[in-house]
Structure 1
Amino acid sequence: MEKNKGKHSTTWFFKWFLNNQVVTALLIVLLCLLIIFVFTKVSYLFTPVIEFVGIVGLPVIISGLLFYLLNPLVDWLEKKGITRVWGITILYILVVALISWGVVILIPQIQLQTRSLIQEWPNYWRVIEEKFTELLTNPLFEQFRTPLEKTANEIFDSIGQMVSTYSKNAFQGIGNIVGAVASIVVTVVTVPFLLFFLLKDGSKMLPYFTQFLPTKARKPITDVLLDINKQVASYITGQLTVAFAVAVMFIIGFSAIGLDYSVTLGVLAGFLNLIPYVGSALATVPAIVIGIVAGPKMLISVILVFIIEQTLEGRFVSPLVLGSKMEIHPVTIIFVLLTAGKLFGLIGVILGIPGYAAIKVVVTHFFAWYKQVSGLYDDDILEEQQKQES
């Protein structure tokens, strides 16, 4: 009996198929793809779930962002001997006071400047076109005139089409204003309650959910979730703080040089700074356009403000706030931004990087587990252990 068993265990079918790690992995991938295919055929069953997520998605996202921003302050107050409930209450009072100040002072000024900027933007753009035409007539650019004119016409035509399309879509979307207002009302009403319970009982959520997991799976899944929380919290808190600092620096700088619409341009720069790498460049475009129209002196002043802001942000603000950055290559960040922006629009651009960081943590932990159980990376595991011992 044992002889037949040993003979069966060495057959080619068992060796190359049943006991093959690669084949097992391919079968798992095939099963996952099959499950996804079946779900696509019964997607109508998930329509209520998708609609529910669409309703509560925005309040949950905003509550999560505010939680990561305010939770360190609540923890700090708790260490000072103030209970979490009182700490949250103090922060709520400060936030309400800040919002009231913004509604009374800041928002009317931003609204006035934004309306004026939108009205004057066609004139600014017309002056830019005229100056560009004058530049092309300069004898120094004679040999480059034809390709530059072609490129400029294409750029101006594209921008014109974009503005026309945006205006058309805006008028067509007037019918959706009621739905948008309802969504905003739901968000404004629910966010304070969600945020309060997140700040109060956020630390209890992970133990509560992990108690339903099998005993052996609790520790590895807890480690993954804690690592994801650490990565996302550090990124969101750092980016929001840096964006606020950038907005303040630009408002002060543009106001100091006497640039029109300084508050609006500063707030826009802070918001765009949430987009890594690309945001800072986009924030300078309207300021440079206004500087060109105002004259060479103002243009030079705008460029100096941008250089000073970039120096302060790169040398002091970002290292102090962000500390050790996430280990994501800049090229990877660009690809993530392009892909997330194409799939999910503005929300994807803003949340693409923390989403990628969370996926990276899951994949890293899964691969570390697979290395241990597969037996295909014994040499790598031995080298890692030797490095840790040394």
Structure 2
Amino acid sequence: MTDMRRWFWLGAVLLLCVFLYVLHPILSPFLVGILLAYLADPLVDKLEKWKLSRTWGVVVVFALFTLLLVLALLVLIPMLAKQLVSLYQMAPQMLDWLQHTALPWVQTRLGLAEGFWKFDQIKAAISSHMGQTTDVVGVILSQATASGLALMAWLANFVLIPVVAFYLLRDWDLMMAKIRSLLPRQREGQIVRLAGECHEVLGAFVRGQLLVMLALGVIYATGLMLVGLQLGLLIGVVAGLAAIVPYMGFVIGIGSAIIAGLFQFGLDPFHLIAIVAVFMIGQALEGMVLTPLLVGDRIGLHPVAVIFAILAGGELFGFTGVLLALPVAAVIMVLVRHMHDLYKDSNIYAGSEDPDL
């Protein structure tokens, strides 16, 4: 590669970084739309194989997604809102239980000094806030009214997402073909091969892990509700969402479920063992059935790399960075893999036959 080409690609990368930094506040709906189009493209391709036009295939997929969203709004969202209100109202009681029951027990076992735990100020603050209003919706609406412009911008972005996703999904194959036609002719095969590997890694992780998250959320929520845990649905959904990083959903879910179980059931061994069993069954199903079936073994994204990518993206570009974190991590992983192969095949690794080197 000549110096001119090096400077060209370096300038292009720097320009892209500046573009993302300057415009990241408005990029979120477009990135979400791209993500939705990317996820739905295989479904539309299958419908095209069934002799359905591209536009009608997109319409069918959007109708299916809309139906699922409506069902979620009518069934799941009210149940989650009810449990959030219950959690909001139970917070002072949970702090009382934590201060007078749980922490004294820990203090006795660990031999800590008297008065080591102090929750009076936190409890007083929460109690005073509860005294001001018990209407969570009223609090949310008051905050939204105070920032009306921000609310309007959020609604505009929310409406923009399906519009962007629809047109991108309809023209997805055409855009991919045009991008491929712009690739350097000598490097087209290599770039397409690398892009295919990135697509394989990213597609396996995003599509597969989303299905794993959904399945684990259903397993955890159903199991905890059958056990009788009052906040079972909320904890199950949170644990399922946290499963985007392997094992994080399990740790967050079982920790919060045991704390909620201790508060609700005390030291009753039957309920505590049942709560642990729910997460053990979910973890076993994830490792032996869900991940091999839905994700496969071609991901290559280590859990630590996923955590670092998400945190780094959020720190640099906020929510936009979180959306970009996994695609960028997948591309970097593929490039690092090829650099590793090139290094293994190089004279630097094997040793040069030239004595002067």
Mark yes or no: TM-score above 0.5.
Answer: yes
Report whether the alignment pairs 1:145 with 2:116.
no
Matched letter for residue 196 of structure 2: L
Alignment of 1:83-102 (within 5 A): 83-102=53-72
Partner of 1:14: none
Greater shift in the superposed pair: 283-292 or 210-219:
210-219
Structure 2: which 5+ residue stretches go unaligned? 127-139, 353-357
- Check whether the contact 2:202–2:299 (CA below 8 A) recurs between aligned residues: no
- Check whether the contact 1:228–1:358 (CA below 8 A) recurs between aligned residues: yes
**CA shift at 1:326, angstroms?**
1.9
- Check whether the contact 1:246–1:313 (CA below 8 A) recurs between aligned residues: yes
Alignment of 1:251-270 (within 5 A): 251-270=221-240
SS of 2:70's partner is helix
Report whether the alignment pairs 1:298 with 2:271.
yes
Report whether the alignment pairs 1:243 with 2:243.
no
SS of 1:279's partner is helix
Distance 1:350 1:277 in 2: 21
Greater shift in the superposed pair: 213-222 or 228-237:
213-222
TM (norm. structure 2) is: 0.76
SS of 1:81's partner is coil
**CA shift at 1:240, angstroms?**
1.0
Distance 1:273 1:242 in 2: 8
Q: What is the CA deviation profile of residues 15-69 of structure 1, one whole-angstrom value per residue up to 9, with x for unaligned ones?
A: xxxxxx9xx99xx79x969x96xx8xxx9xx68x7554421x1112212332233
Report whether the alignment pairs 1:67 with 2:40.
no
After superposition, the Cα gap between the structure-2 partners of 1:209 and 1:367, relative to the gap in structure 1 and judged at 3 Å, is farther
Structure 1: which 5+ residue stretches go unaligned? 1-20, 164-169, 382-390
What number of residue pairs does the alignment pair up? 334
After superposition, the Cα gap between the structure-2 partners of 1:94 and 1:226, relative to the gap in structure 1 and judged at 3 Å, is same
The one of 47, 69, 74 aligned to 1:77: 47
**CA shift at 1:183, angstroms?**
3.2
Partner of 2:289: 316
- Check whether the contact 2:144–2:151 (CA below 8 A) recurs between aligned residues: no
Distance 2:177 2:334 in 1: 20
Partner of 2:355: none
Partner of 2:163: 193
**CA shift at 1:245, angstroms?**
0.8
Distance 2:120 2:320 in 1: 28
Alignment of 1:340-359 (within 5 A): 340=313, 342-344=315-317, 352-359=325-332
TM (norm. structure 1) is: 0.70
Partner of 1:54: 25
SS of 1:146's partner is coil
SS of 2:297's partner is coil
**CA shift at 1:268, angstroms?**
1.7
SS of 1:276's partner is coil
Distance 2:164 2:37 in 1: 9
**CA shift at 1:320, angstroms?**
0.7
**CA shift at 1:310, angstroms?**
1.2
- Check whether the contact 2:197–2:334 (CA below 8 A) recurs between aligned residues: yes
After superposition, the Cα gap between the structure-2 partners of 1:117 and 1:82, relative to the gap in structure 1 and judged at 3 Å, is same
Partner of 1:207: 177
Partner of 2:136: none
**CA shift at 1:110, angstroms?**
1.4
Alignment of 1:35-184 (within 5 A): 50-55=21-26, 57-136=27-106, 138=108, 141=109, 144-146=110-112, 177-184=147-154
Higher RCO (CA-CA < 8 Å; seq separation 6+): 2
Q: Which has the higher helix share?
A: 1
Q: What is the CA deviation profile of residues 82-131 of structure 1, one whole-angstrom value per residue up to 9, with x for unaligned ones?
A: 33322222222222222222222221221121122122123223212322
- Check whether the contact 1:273–1:279 (CA below 8 A) recurs between aligned residues: yes
The one of 235, 238, 244 aligned to 1:274: 244
**CA shift at 1:292, angstroms?**
0.6
Greater shift in the superposed pair: 294-303 or 332-341:
332-341
After superposition, the Cα gap between the structure-2 partners of 1:137 and 1:159, relative to the gap in structure 1 and judged at 3 Å, is closer
